[in-house]
Structure 1
């Protein structure tokens, strides 16, 4: 008897689940209400972080059953500036992150995962909004609200490849501004965790500052984009026969918003739970929740630093084994377990799921199925 499964959302979490289920002889249908994959992205570069786990991201992808048929460039060097334009170069023997491109064009992560899903036998139905999963299934509809936002531009440039970041609350309140250049294409953005209404001013300061620290930076054919991320802990990941994956389950890095690991691992775990008849929520608790809770404590502590503290933070990272230092901060510890309840209280209003989990949601107050956050 053929096993059938339906998935809502053709993001990385949903597609990784679909690929693994199809390889296990499930008949998989993925429904995406937009006309293509990667509809929230515009060819912008992002980082698949490599510091929260000792397992290298390239090895992780292989374990998740994912081929690298998209841009996935390791970066082992990061140029970082503080608010006074002091420059430090952070280097690591192991890649700090893998640069990937997001969107619907060949070479993008989303497009590559779509190709792998189709090759595995997955049916992907675009322009189709599904309001009910009568037999259960997987929900991967992305973020429900904005706990962090990114405002930036993608553009062409003649500047050499580089990964750079600025820690300055005037540019990116409690977050960071970044510049990623790869083979003549670039992404520049401010990633903000506070003061969202100052998005335009922060973005303009970001462009001005990067031009100042990199006088040879030329910006050609710039196109603006915006994005957002969401995290929460209060809803079950499995409910009424439905498996919630990625940001639909609130799974996101609370510190810096590097959520691709969470998305793809959760999709893999949902598939594994189905194939092996395992408890999905237990798998999530074992594999993702501890580091996510630690990342919330990290966010709580990071927000206490301010611009003067960022300088100390940058200098400390630049000395010794950077990736080991950052990785250590993502490991649960007695101290962080003690701090977590305090961080949970501070961020309580932000940790509440902004969605009602209703498949035919028409609520004005929640973001269950909204395409954008205003």
Structure 2
């Protein structure tokens, strides 16, 4: 069985036979990356302990809707999840289009013949991606220890502790509504500087968010502008409103292995640098980390082969997007509307020779708020901050 990610990335299914082992593999963090790794390892006979410092999975999330992108690969993302051992036991609703707004242009309706993304819910309540993965992990025999912060360990471990800095911040609300199911996106630097705002509605619930990649201190101001825009341009029905905020980070380092620790998900910087679609990267990196332990193969080789080309392309896309402004946003929206938006997005999310020429410039211009704090202690057993001074002796 194969898992295709993008146009050129192919990762083969785990080839090792199930094993019987005494010492458990430690996984730090019960997010999508950590739980995926645990599920795959347990199915291959490895005892697994997941240490989660919060009282429940999805604890820092808010019941908000997010998009599981479906345009960067030929294979549907739901088929990819199934092929790496993840069942769809959570809300995963296909969305084939929606409305897109930009300054000084009428809203444009985008339509696709395949799902552009799958709407999923995040958080601690039933039906979320987080709870679905937790149920699968427990059913597979994974041991999850909540309210347990693991600072040091012995043996091999997978670190899935989530973002360590804010390269993008989001401010939004969840709410109940009588509005029809829909997806609406705004590209406007006055509402979401170098980012985007969106409205997602499904089965009587809604999420409205602005995502800022610059001018973070204007978070509240941009949120108010977004609310004013949606109320002024759409027939809004908002009840039981709950505010929330979150953040994410993106970086590309040459290694995600430090002594016996394998880093996955956002703790490895694995994120879509353009628009922040990170769930695909989280799940696939968790799978690849598990695969490397099962087969005793090189995790750095795996993620660099399977994920790095698209990570680098997303960095270039971020570099270009920050320079096109409102005129460029209008151009992009027209391109989305003319033809198949998934084909257009897939082309620009995958490697090309021209974009590769821009990589040195994009690398020079981009600077994550996360710094490499690896230490040089021999046989280091620290978990947090890549052995930052707070933990290392």
Q: Is the 8 A contact 1:233 1:352 kept in 2?
A: no
TM score, norm. by length of structure 2 = 0.90
2:302 aligned with 1:283, yes or no?
yes
Q: In the TM superposition, what is the alpha-carbon distance from 1:335 to its structure 2 partner?
A: 0.8
Match of 1:2 among 15, 21, 26: 21
After TM superposition, the structure 1 stretch with the greater mean CA deviation from structure 2, 264-273 or 131-140, is 131-140
TM score, norm. by length of structure 1 = 0.94
Write out aligned runs for 1:1-374 (5 A).
Answer: 2-3=21-22, 4-84=24-104, 86-214=106-234, 216-234=235-253, 236-347=255-366, 349-350=367-368, 352-353=370-371, 356=374, 358-359=382-383
Structure 2: unaligned runs, 5 residues or longer: 1-19, 376-381
Q: Are residues 280 and 362 of structure 1, via their aligned partners in 2, closer, same or farther at CA, if it must alter by over 3 Å? A: closer
Q: Is the 8 A contact 2:165 2:370 kept in 1?
A: no
Q: 3-state SS of the aligned residue for 2:164?
A: coil
Q: Is the 8 A contact 1:22 1:28 kept in 2?
A: yes
Q: 3-state SS of the aligned residue for 2:135?
A: helix
Q: In the TM superposition, what is the alpha-carbon distance from 1:277 to its structure 2 partner?
A: 1.4
Q: Is the 8 A contact 1:47 1:99 kept in 2?
A: yes
Q: Is the 8 A contact 1:144 1:355 kept in 2?
A: no
Q: In the TM superposition, what is the alpha-carbon distance from 1:339 to its structure 2 partner?
A: 0.2
Q: Partners of 1:212 and 1:75 in 2: how far apart?
A: 24
Q: Is the 8 A contact 1:255 1:298 kept in 2?
A: yes
Q: Is the 8 A contact 2:252 2:311 kept in 1?
A: no
Structure 1: unaligned runs, 5 residues or longer: 369-374
Q: Are residues 57 and 361 of structure 1, via their aligned partners in 2, closer, same or farther at CA, if it must alter by over 3 Å? A: closer
Q: 3-state SS of the aligned residue for 2:174?
A: strand
Q: In the TM superposition, what is the alpha-carbon distance from 1:122 to its structure 2 partner?
A: 0.4
Q: Partners of 2:128 and 2:268 in 1: how far apart?
A: 24
Q: In the TM superposition, what is the alpha-carbon distance from 1:85 to its structure 2 partner?
A: 5.4
Aligned length: 365
Q: Are residues 190 and 356 of structure 1, via their aligned partners in 2, closer, same or farther at CA, if it must alter by over 3 Å? A: farther
Q: 3-state SS of the aligned residue for 2:109?
A: strand
